[in-house]
């Protein structure tokens, strides 16, 4: 494209600040129309036209997502990565930062695949080729669920703050584990086929406590909640991959930015539930594919 892309992200509640950024830097004087997608392309279109003189050329949200993703997978080396079994750690330990494995480009752009976009909610698409995709499922339990509940349960002011908090948490203080139910009876554990450190019930340990908050830190709540939301997304993704016979599952979206805990958990879950027959894949520029794709489609550039 003979140029560079610079990405800026912000919560939609700060749209006024984004518009001020455009105005202060005089971007609006050189732009008459931009490719835009998502609900904001409709909700804020009149405001942008009135205050900045910029029209929004609305692009289909899923077309934009797939177009942006295909562009980076085809043109940017090292964009796609995964976590192998020796890269992840147990739920109660720190993620092995920097231990991801790059996926070869010839594999990373092969069709068909399942695309799981985790933003405020979750959208799941089966992708068979450029402009050949279908929304097959989704979930209301996504990044918005996690961040909303964290705002109630912790004093964190930003999503990055709550992720840093979760890094220090111990979910076993909150979650009921299989070992809490069966104890250390190895025969019983062998019979049910589950190790003692597997979560039996998210937040279940608090039920039996007379004072649920006693001894519980904010970081424990943040970590347990992160794993609860992530495990649910992973299970829904795995079941859809089974149903639609796709062995590659790409997880993208702003929820995963700087979120190694969820990435490792998803990789572990997909590998475990599929007996190693499916793979969870991630991309370096997750969260920006819709914006990138809407730009490309607006200018008639497709891969």
Query: 214 by DSSP, 3-state: which?
Result: coil
Query: 135 by DSSP, 3-state: which?
Result: strand
Residue in 33, 47, 61, 218 annotated catalytic? 61
Any catalytic annotation for residue 245? no
Sign of torsion over alpha carbons 60, 63, 67, 68 = positive
Cis omega (within 30 of 0) on the bond before 112?
yes
Query: 58 by DSSP, 3-state: which?
Result: strand
Task: For residue 83, give Cα distances in angstroms to 105, 152, 270, 280.
Answer: 16, 32, 11, 8
Task: For residue 133, give Cα distances in angstroms to 93, 106, 160, 289.
Answer: 38, 20, 32, 15
The residue behind tokens 């995709």 is 133
Maximum CA extent, the chain: 72
**263-279 b/e (C-beta count within 10 Å ≥ 16 → b):** bbbbbbbbbebbeeebb
Helix residue ranges, H only, the chain: 15-24, 40-43, 45-52, 61-75, 105-108, 143-153, 159-167, 178-182, 186-192, 218-243, 260-273, 289-298
Active site residues: 61
């Amino acid at each position: 494209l003979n140029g560079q892309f610079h990405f800026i992200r912000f919560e939609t509640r700060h749209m006024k600040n984004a518009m001020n950024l455009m105005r202060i830097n005089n971007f609006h004087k050189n732009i008459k129309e931009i490719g835009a997608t998502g609900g904001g392309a409709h909700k804020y279109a009149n405001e942008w036209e009135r205050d900045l003189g910029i029209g929004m050329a609305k692009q289909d949200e899923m077309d934009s997502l797939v177009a942006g993703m295909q562009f980076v997978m085809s043109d940017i080396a090292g964009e796609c990565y995964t976590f192998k079994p020796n890269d992840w750690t147990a739920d109660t330990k720190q993620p092995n930062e920097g231990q991801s494995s790059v996926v070869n480009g010839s594999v990373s752009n092969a069709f068909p695949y399942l695309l799981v976009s985790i933003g405020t909610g979750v959208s799941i698409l089966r992708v068979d080729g450029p402009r050949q995709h279908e929304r097959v499922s989704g979930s209301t339990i996504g990044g918005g669920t996690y961040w909303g509940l964290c705002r109630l349960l912790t004093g964190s002011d930003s999503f990055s703050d709550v992720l840093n908090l979760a890094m220090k948490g111990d979910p076993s203080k909150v979650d009921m584990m299989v070992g809490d139910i069966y104890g250390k009876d190895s025969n019983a554990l062998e019979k049910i086929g589950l190790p003692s450190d597997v979560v039996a019930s998210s937040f279940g340990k608090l039920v039996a406590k007379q004072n649920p908050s006693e001894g519980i830190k904010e970081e424990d709540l943040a970590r347990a909640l992160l794993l609860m939301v992530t495990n649910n997304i992973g299970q829904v993704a795995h079941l859809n991959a089974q149903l639609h016979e796709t062995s590659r599952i790409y997880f993208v979206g702003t929820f995963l930015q700087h979120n190694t805990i969820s990435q490792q958990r998803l990789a572990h879950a997909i590998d475990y539930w599929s007996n190693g027959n499916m793979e969870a894949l991630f991309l370096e520029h997750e969260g920006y594919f819709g914006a990138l794709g809407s730009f490309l489609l607006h200018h008639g550039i497709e891969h």
